[in-house]
């Protein structure tokens, strides 16, 4: 990579980070090593191209790998804050791009942050145009509300999923029965 920081350098760093992501899939035993390298590269990249959304998305994804592997609770908590910041930054730069909120949701699912999920799902729903996908997001949000103990909101949201996807009636009925228990 070039010694002088330029747009070409940023492009090469991003291509290399993308290559590292592909390596993670092929060699999962080395994903921590790839994530550390990718994280380092992308932190340099955001200094060169701070308004390029893909930098922030990749940085969040690599940070998620670091979160999964981190044993120290304080360090893990700091990494979680960083990942949230990276995905939120990507969302601010490209507010119609679903990927940033989807990645944030995936992280919240892994760490079981239900309040974060309850806050983020509606934002993703508001920018999703595909009715089937939107119905699935509503259904997922209903499960989150159930986990949080808010059965009223869970019922309300799952009925929105049913409006968008009537074929899901048997599953929705089963979910509604589970709320009564």
- How do the pLDDT tens digits run along the chain, 181 residues long? 445 666 677 777 777 777 888 877 888 888 888 889 989 989 988 998 999 999 999 999 999 999 999 999 999 999 999 999 999 999 999 999 999 999 999 999 999 999 999 999 999 999 999 999 999 999 999 999 999 999 999 999 999 999 999 999 999 999 999 999 8
* Domain extent for 147: 113-181
Q: What CATH number did the domain enclosing 23 receive?
A: 1.25.40.10
What's the number of domains the chain is made of? 2
pLDDT of residue 5: 67
Say whether both 100 and 179 belong to one domain.
no
pLDDT of residue 32: 86
pLDDT of residue 57: 96
pLDDT of residue 158: 98
Q: Residue 155: which residues within 8 A CB-CB, separation 6 or more? A: 142, 176, 179
Contact in structure between 161 and 135 (CB atoms under 8 Å)? yes
* pTM given for the model: 0.87
Cβ burial of 130 (10 Å; 0-12, 13-18, 19+) is exposed
Say whether both 29 and 67 belong to one domain.
yes
pLDDT of residue 137: 98
Say whether both 42 and 67 belong to one domain.
yes
Tell me which residue of 130, 180, 135, 141 sits closest to 162, measured CA to CA.
135
Q: Residue 5: which residues within 8 A CB-CB, separation 6 or more? A: 44, 47, 48
Handedness of CA 13, 17, 22, 24 (dihedral sign): positive
Mapped onto helix, strand or coil, the DSSP state of residue 34 is helix
pLDDT of residue 145: 99
The b-or-e profile of 27-44 (16+ CB within 10 A means b, else e) is: eeeebeebbebbbebbee
Say whether both 45 and 64 belong to one domain.
yes
Say whether both 158 and 178 belong to one domain.
yes
Say whether both 72 and 118 belong to one domain.
no
């Amino acid at each position: 990579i070039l010694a002088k920081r330029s747009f070409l350098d940023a492009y090469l760093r991003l291509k290399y980070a993308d290559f590292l992501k592909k390596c993670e899939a092929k060699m999962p035993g080395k994903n921590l090593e790839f994530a550390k390298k990718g994280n380092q590269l992308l932190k340099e990249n955001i200094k060169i191209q701070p308004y390029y959304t893909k930098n922030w998305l990749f940085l969040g994804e690599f940070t998620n790998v670091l979160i999964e592997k981190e044993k120290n609770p304080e360090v893990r908590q700091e990494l979680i804050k960083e990942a949230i910041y990276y995905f939120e930054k990507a969302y601010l730069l490209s507010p119609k791009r679903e990927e940033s909120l989807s990645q944030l949701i995936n992280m919240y699912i892994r760490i079981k942050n239900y309040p974060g999920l309850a806050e983020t799902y509606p934002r993703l729903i508001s920018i999703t145009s595909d009715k089937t996908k939107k119905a699935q997001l509503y259904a997922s949000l209903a499960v989150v509300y159930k986990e949080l103990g808010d059965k009223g909101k869970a019922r309300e949201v799952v009925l929105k999923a049913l409006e968008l996807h009537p074929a899901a009636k048997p599953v929705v009925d089963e979910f509604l029965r589970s709320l009564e228990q």
